[in-house]
A and B are shown apart, each in its own frame.
Chain A
Amino acid sequence: MQFSLTSLLLLGISCLVSARSLTINIPVSSPLPNPHVLPATTHATLTTLPSGGKDHILSASLTRSASFVFRDLPSSGPDSQPESYLLDIRSAGEYVFAPYRVDVAADGTILGVWETFRGNPWDNLGAVKYIVDVAATKQDDVVVEAKVVARKAFYEERAKFSPMSLVKNPMILLAIVAMGLMFGMPKLMENMDPELRAEFEQHSRASPISGATNNAMTGGGFDLAGWMAGTSAHPTTNTDAAQGGATGRDTSGPARKRG
């Protein structure tokens, strides 16, 4: 990769194809269905480190045809080095464009345009957008397409009040189930076989679920206040909380289990 790039650069310098202007078109894409909605402040910039008095920051405004045109790319003496620019397109923060790498030869011709990745070495090239063709005929204008990556959402959505959301609330659902049991259970029991009913009543008295509920009532569960105060080392262990129960904080646990 490294070798091919350098060789390409060398070839590009040697043949001196005069491509002096760079046009970037904004295509229709799913994040941006209509490129004409972009605000007028949208602009593209080519940036590099200042060297040899050349323009190191070039800027182009958005045109009516939703493109950017860089005319007269800076050229310097034939003995100077080719320059590698970072191409950014910025549109009031809203639309995010992929950054490009633009290599310009010393005489102002474009050697190549590649996609690049921020936070990666500069030599990691992405998809080739344009590359100088040694064999081809003279090309004056290089035209590449921009790539819209995403659209930023600036605003937070406010949760809307709806009766359905209220019903979906687990607390309300629990209450409804409890109500259903309260009203429905006696009816069910009445319809049951008397023998079966007696067995059921006996069963429910000795059930482990009710035993656990009783246990929880006397100080089980996670003691948040205790954990915050730093007295309980392990927030989730019941034994710790049970020990703390001796200090009179046991009531705080069930008290907060409201609803």
Chain B
Amino acid sequence: MRLQAALFFAVCLSPAAAIYNDEVNHIDFHHALLGSPSPDSTFFLKPSSTSNASLLYTISDKLLVGAINPRDGALLWRQNLSRSADSPARGGLLRGLDGNDAVVGAAGNYISSWSAQDGKLAWENRYSEGVVADLELLELEDATATPGIRDTIAVVGSEGSGIVRRLDGNSGNIKWEYRDDSGDVPFQVSSSPTEVFYISLQSAMLKGYRIKVTVLDPVTGKQVRQQTLNSESDVATPESVLFVGANTASPIIVWTDKSQKSLKVNVIGTKEINSVAIDNTSGLDIRKITVHAAHKTNALPHFLVHYATEAGAWAEVYHVDMKSSKVTKAYQLPYLPGHSVVATSVIDANVFFTRVTDSEAVVVSSASHGILGRWNLPESSDVALHAVSDLVTRGGSVSVRSAVFREHGDWQLIRNGQIEWIRNEGLIDAVAATWAEVDAQEGLAHELEVEGHETIYGAYIHRVKRHVRDLQYLQQWLKHIPERILSSIFSDEVTNLDSFGLATPVLVATKNGRVYALDTGKHGAVLWSVQAVETSEWDVKAILTSPGTATIYPNDGSSVTLKVSTGDIISRTASSDSKIHSIAVFGAQEASSLTTVGVREDGSPVTAFDEVNGFLVTTSVDGRVLGWIAKDNKSPVWEFLPPSGQKVVHATARPVHDPVASIGKVLGDRSVLYKYLNTNLALVTAVNEKTNIASFYLLDGVSGKVLHATTQSGVDTTQPIASAMSENWFAFSFWGDIDSNESSAKGYQLVISELYESPFPNDRGPLDSASNYSSLHSSVESPPLPHVISQAFMIPEPISHMTVTQTRQGITTRQLLCTLPSSNSIVGIPRPVLDPRRPVDRDATAAETEEGLFRYAPYFDFDGKWYLSHARDVAGIKQVLSRPTLLESTSLIFAFGSDIYGTRATPSQAFDVLGKSFSKLQLVLTVVALGVGVAILAPMTRRKQVNALWKAT
């Protein structure tokens, strides 16, 4: 017990177990994700007029605007537009222009301009009228305009009218506005140096749409002229218009007739419709037509139309004659089986097309069909969806880098046929994750089992044989010894601890039915990824692992079992009818067999769990908490209903692996406060949205009895209310506001409560003499109520998710892991800081100081050393997992939700590891120096002793 005290004291002296600078990227890894890049709003762009290198910009399906360094795929900056946009958008728009040092993005009714170099806001606007339908940057050569700043033309579509606005490039203020109240569908906008074209779709008398082009003066915004194209027989929906060019490089509107026999092209601003026959030699139906044209204003007006059928694809290149407004076919890229995508790039005025097929990448010029460069690509089963490319010419040869987005969510940069980097954007949809259990030791375990079941003599022979067999590795092992010794002394690496379970792969299941395995030892690289289920809404409830395999349980009652090493699907079970709200797992995580019971939305178990001896606490969708026992899945044993007006929003219990190293807490005077340890505790959060009240109920899971309840008023119930529980304590956080009778402060609060058996030290309350007790049948009041000590702290930030670090024996101090959504960090608050027994309004006495207590302060800021994510921007985390390793000091942390982040936590410092600060070289040198000292001093002493002997006599 005193060892505990000593250890605790030692921990308190050095509570900061921060990450060292040289451990960054070694013990942690981070995937900063954006999501699927939008095909129309992804481009290479020079961030400013002075820079030579271009960056890759995109807006994703998650409405994240981001800039990526094309050299290594690192995210330079990102901004989340979905937070600012009021109305749910169908997709975002992002536009950039060479020579403009900002990119302009729009999502829903929100339009904003961001500095291309560092992602800081230039201006933003929120339109109450409606949704931004399209936007373009104006390439106007304005004498008054400052270089590097271009104005924006935006189309805002609202009920029955379309508004074209010219926005100042510096401030975002409206320069002019053109209002079209004719009831047409606002469609797109296009610009030229002298005119602005507003393209809208006019409903025809019977069906279909006529394309209406309104020409506006770019300086005043006045209507110059208007043209209507008779397209109603071809254009049935707005989607039927394939392409509207942005500027003079592609001054065209493209659509096809209904039978996809001919391509209709109109040069914007003219009335003629060019009809070009589609030369479909494949004999198959055309599935998809895409038009690719240059975006840079000085480029030649050449464009490429890409036709894809079920089995293959070809492309045709057309030239536009601006004078005669005629469109002519230049040449054709041949039909190739398989999939292909095309990207456009511009050098000076020349347009180049890069075609990426399943096996090769080809670069052609828009002027002629001669192949300028061809590279073979590594085999990939993943279909390319779209690509952008950046081209440089050196001498006669070309060099191309293409960012290809593939169907399975990988974004690759292919430079001259070599894959430079891969961003696994599919991981952004992660819904569940767990650590895999690798079956590396399974062979040995099997051998030992065989030995255990044989006679003594047989087992002996078996073991001798096994050791003889192992001798074949001896030579290899001996060969590596000098290398290992040298590397352990001189190498700069932190000790390799993979064999202690620190490099376990993580399995991640995503919403679109994919399963990824991430190697935590290699910066979270993807080991394999498989499409487990073809779905877009895979609501995974649980992933259970056993050595070598993992089973995934989604909400439809089915399951998929995978092999951990390769991702091969071993077995599936069919889905059941009932929709599952959650999955309950029986049996300890270490046990060989785990059983699962699905829980319906009304809280009742799907099946009676006869074979397991246990109980179950469930929450139902309508906000009740129910208790069940085996054999009966019809009627609950107990039911907990919060007071009227309140609804249950969250419930948490102690983690499955929650070892308690000490049953008591040693006080400064060597007396003991006994912890209230009940494995069946559940903490239920209930809120009343009308009166801004949050209540926290501590329930006993077996009897359903309320052990403790606390109510907070002035709580913002729309903000996250996080809670966590471990050992004999629980914590929760919320936004607390001024309340007439309870609180006079405004801000985020964190409340910590500890449970003890009795308020008096060395007293175990009613359980003192009991050898065992039951929650239901007992002579003492059952279950006894805990003595609760609480303290509240003001914290600077909201906490969206809470969990507790787990270690093997639970001796290491715990950290409360909190996800901070507003600063995109994960922080681990050491438990000694959050001690509710800290003395209030007085300094700690000597005895309390010995316990590690110090004076209570109502506010504490998160220390920089507590940040597990240190300077990283870990955004959108929904869940944080913790797992013990074979090292008591170390706990593995994995966070997912939007970004993926993995690290190790050492709450009491890495006391069982010789870290990098342990210099082996210094040790060796010291031993050598001592040896030399002894060698010098020994003869001297001997001589002295001999002399002394002679003197004595």
* A residues with CB within 8 A of B: 39-41, 43, 45, 47-50, 56-57, 59, 61-64, 72, 84, 86, 88, 90-94, 96, 99, 101, 117-123, 152-159, 161, 227-230
Contact = CB atoms under 8 A, between A and B. Distances in A.
Given A84-B746, A93-B820, A154-B18, 5 more contacts: A40-B78, A40-B79, A152-B867, A153-B865, A156-B19
Nearest to A94: B871
Contact of A155 (B2, B120, B825, B870): B870
B867 A48 contact: no
Contact of B746 (A86, A92, A156, A159): A86
A156 B16 CA distance: 9
B501 to A, nearest CB: 24
A20 B672 CA distance: 60
B120 A63 contact: yes
B120 A161 contact: no
A49 B19 contact: no
Given A84-B746, A94-B871, A122-B746, A61 B124 contact: yes
Central interface residue in A39, A59, A92, by most chain B CB within 10 Å: A92
A153 B827 CA distance: 13
A133 B1 CA distance: 65
A59 to B, nearest CB: 7
B79 A49 contact: no
Which of B737, B861, B916 lies at the interface centre, i.e. has the most chain A CB atoms within 10 A of its CB? B737
Interface residues of B, number: 64
Contacts of B916: 158
Given A122-B738, A227-B2, A154 B823 contact: no
Contacts of B919: 161
A56 B716 contact: yes
Contacts of B136: none
A90 B745 contact: no
B22 A158 contact: yes
Contacts of B775: none
A122 B822 CA distance: 22
A90 B22 contact: no
A43 B84 CA distance: 12
Nearest to A63: B121
Nearest to A160: B917
A40 B118 contact: yes
Contact of B864 (A50, A152, A228): A152
A32 B716 CA distance: 33
B823 A91 contact: yes
A156 B823 contact: no
B21 A155 contact: yes
B862 A59 contact: no
Nearest to B868: A154
A161 B719 CA distance: 49
B838 to A, nearest CB: 14
Interface in B345-379: none
Given A119-B794, A121-B745, A153-B864, A40 B122 contact: no
Closest CB pairs A-B (n = 4): A119-B859, A152-B864, A119-B858, A40-B119
Nearest to A150: B861
Given A92-B823, A93-B820, A93-B825, A118 B859 contact: yes
Given A40-B118, A155-B21, A155-B870, A120 B2 contact: no
B718 A40 contact: no
Contacts of A86: 746-747
A119 to B, nearest CB: 3
Contacts of B793: 119
Nearest to B871: A154
B122 A63 contact: yes
Interface in B737-756: 737-738, 744-747
B718 A50 contact: yes
B817 to A, nearest CB: 15
21 contacts: A40-B120, A41-B824, A41-B873, A43-B822, A45-B822, A48-B746, A49-B714, A61-B120, A86-B747, A88-B822, A94-B871, A101-B746, A118-B747, A121-B744, A122-B745, A154-B19, A156-B18, A157-B21, A158-B20, A161-B919, A230-B1
Interface string B74-101: 0001110001100000000000000000
Q: Which of B20, B794, B823 has the most CB of A within 10 A?
A: B823
Chain A, interface SS category? loop
Contacts of B122: 63-64
Contact of B870 (A63, A117, A154, A159): A154
Nearest to B736: A49
Contact of A154 (B78, B126, B865): B865
A57 B20 CA distance: 36
Contact of B120 (A57, A64, A90): A64
* Chain A CB within 10 Å, residue with most, of B114, B120, B863: B120
Contacts of A158: 20-22, 916-917
B115 A64 contact: yes
B170 to A, nearest CB: 10
B899 to A, nearest CB: 12
Given A119-B857, A161-B922, A227-B2, A92 B121 contact: no
Contact of B744 (A63, A123, A152, A154): A123
Contacts of B917: 158-159
B735 A47 contact: yes
A152 B22 CA distance: 18
Given A86-B746, A93-B862, A153-B865, A118 B794 contact: yes
B83 A228 contact: no
A61 B871 contact: no
A118 B748 CA distance: 9
Contacts of A121: 744-745
Interface string B51-83: 000000000000000000000000001110001
B718 A90 contact: no
A86 B738 CA distance: 11
Nearest to B5: A228
Contacts of B867: 93, 152, 154
A35 B165 CA distance: 33
Contacts of B121: 61-64
A212 B128 CA distance: 89
Contacts of B16: 156
A93 B18 CA distance: 15
Nearest to B857: A119
B824 A92 contact: yes
A171 to B, nearest CB: 11
Interface string B275-305: 0000000000000000000000000000000
A157 B824 CA distance: 24
A155 B714 contact: no
Given A90-B797, A92-B825, A123-B744, A228 B2 contact: yes
Interface in B857-889: 857-859, 861-865, 867, 870-871, 873, 875
Contacts of B780: none
Nearest to B18: A156
B322 interface: no
Contacts of A122: 738, 744-746
Nearest to B738: A122
Contacts of B863: 152
A157 B77 CA distance: 28
A159 B919 CA distance: 11
A228 B2 CA distance: 5
B2 A62 contact: no
Contacts of B745: 118-122
B413 to A, nearest CB: 23
B873 A92 contact: yes
A58 to B, nearest CB: 10
Question: Which residue, A43, A119, A121, A122, has most C-beta atoms of chain B within 10 A?
Answer: A119
A177 B563 CA distance: 67
Interface in B753-781: none
A228 B666 CA distance: 13
B219 interface: no
Contacts of A153: 864-865
A156 to B, nearest CB: 4
